[in-house]
Amino acid sequence: TCVNEGNDADYSTYVLQDPTCDKNKTEGGCVQRRCNKDLMPTTHEKVCVDDSPAQQCTMAQCEYKCANKTFTNIDSEAYCTHWAYDVVDKECYLFYGCTGEAYDDDYTLYTQSYGERTALI
């Protein structure tokens, strides 16, 4: 709470929340969030696209692709840590780390820990 908090008709009090997503699939992820792919050109990959049904994937497939992804251009242990899924277009992004996380009306962002990763593979 604020010191000497009280009602004032001229002002509204807001609470700033940390915008960083730390929710996995079980926790529902973070709706309308995605890591900034432009700030991370070598640490992201779009693995499913809406160009054709054959190139789309399900949410479970996206999660599994993250579990199996290693960004070997970075390091032999640069495992996928975040994945973003668009349920309408069935598109999927994989990320190693998450820089510049921001609003995105199409995607839900999820974290994936080492334990979650090993349970899937």
DSSP state letter for 59: H
Average pLDDT along the chain: 91
Going from the C-alpha of 51 to that of each of 33, 54, 89, 105, the distances in angstroms are 22, 8, 9, 19
Residue 70 identity (one-letter amino acid): T
CA–CA separation, 112 and 58 (whole Å): 17
DSSP state letter for 12: -
Q: What is residue 9's predicted lDDT score, i.e. its pLDDT?
A: 79
Q: Which of the pair, 80 or 4, is modelled with greater confidence? A: 80
Name all domains of the chain by residue range, CATH numbers in brackets: 30-120 (3.50.4.10)
Residue 42 has pLDDT above 70, yes or no: yes
Q: Are residues 107 and 85 in contact, defined by beta-carbon separation less than 8 angstroms?
A: yes
Q: Which two tokens stand for residue 63?
A: 């999660």
Q: Are residues 80 and 95 in contact, defined by beta-carbon separation less than 8 angstroms?
A: yes
**pTM score:** 0.83
Edge-first strand order for the sheet with 82-86 is 30-34, 102-111, 82-86, 91-95, 44-48
Residue 92 has pLDDT above 80, yes or no: yes
